[in-house]
Amino acid sequence: MQKSEVFSIGLLDKYHLYVPAEIVEQFPKEKRARFRVKFQHQDKSLEVYAALRKDKNRGDYRMMFSNGNQKKLNLFQNDYFEMQLFEDTSKYGVDMPEELEEVFKFDPEAFQIFESLTDGKKRSIIYYIKRIKNTQSRVDKALILCDNLKLGIIDQKLLFKG
């Protein structure tokens, strides 16, 4: 798995940061859209999956960095922190929750429909399930998701309604 060197970076604005082109362009062109990213600030670290988009004006790459992730690292606007990029080797651009994976094993029809969705829609569904803290609630929502997919419901607002 390819990875960058650890480098220092700061926030561009409230929700974004720029990653220098020379860091990103070490990766093959077809692998520059999504990364697994590791952040380190003081004694805190965080790993996330993220999309990087080239800024046509600057030539650097832009990445969204949520306020929630900034809080996890105890970051403020003028802080500098460490960052490292790793090649994204995951199937969906994010790790599949175990509960959703298990439910799909028992419902191949729903899994087939899930696989036919766009990559962004799949990630959105996975992130929704991952945000649920309770294991049983994750299973329950995954079951609702499967039923709704088989009913032809793919609207994000309705996917998890029972």
Per-residue DSSP letters for 122-136?
HHHHHHHHHH--SHH
* The pLDDT of residue 37: 97
Where the chain has pLDDT below 70, the residues are none
pTM reported for the whole predicted model:
0.83
Q: What is the pLDDT of residues 33-58, one digit of tens each?
A: 999 999 999 999 999 999 999 988 88
**β-strand partners of 35:** 50, 87
Q: Which residues have a Cβ under 8 Å from the Cβ of 35 and sit 6 or more positions away?
A: 27, 49, 50, 52, 85, 86, 87, 88
Query: CB pairs under 8 A, 24+ apart, for 63-71?
Result: 63/16, 63/17, 63/18, 63/19, 63/37, 64/15, 64/16, 65/11, 65/15, 65/16, 65/17, 66/15, 67/14, 67/15, 69/39, 70/11
* The pLDDT of residue 119: 93
Contact (CB, 8 A) for 148 and 116: no
Between the CA of residue 28 and those of 31, 82, 91, 97, 103, what are the distances in Å?
5, 23, 18, 28, 35
What would be the CATH architecture of the domain defined by 7-87?
Answer: Beta Barrel (2.40)
* The pLDDT of residue 58: 85
The chain-wide mean pLDDT, for the chain, equals 94
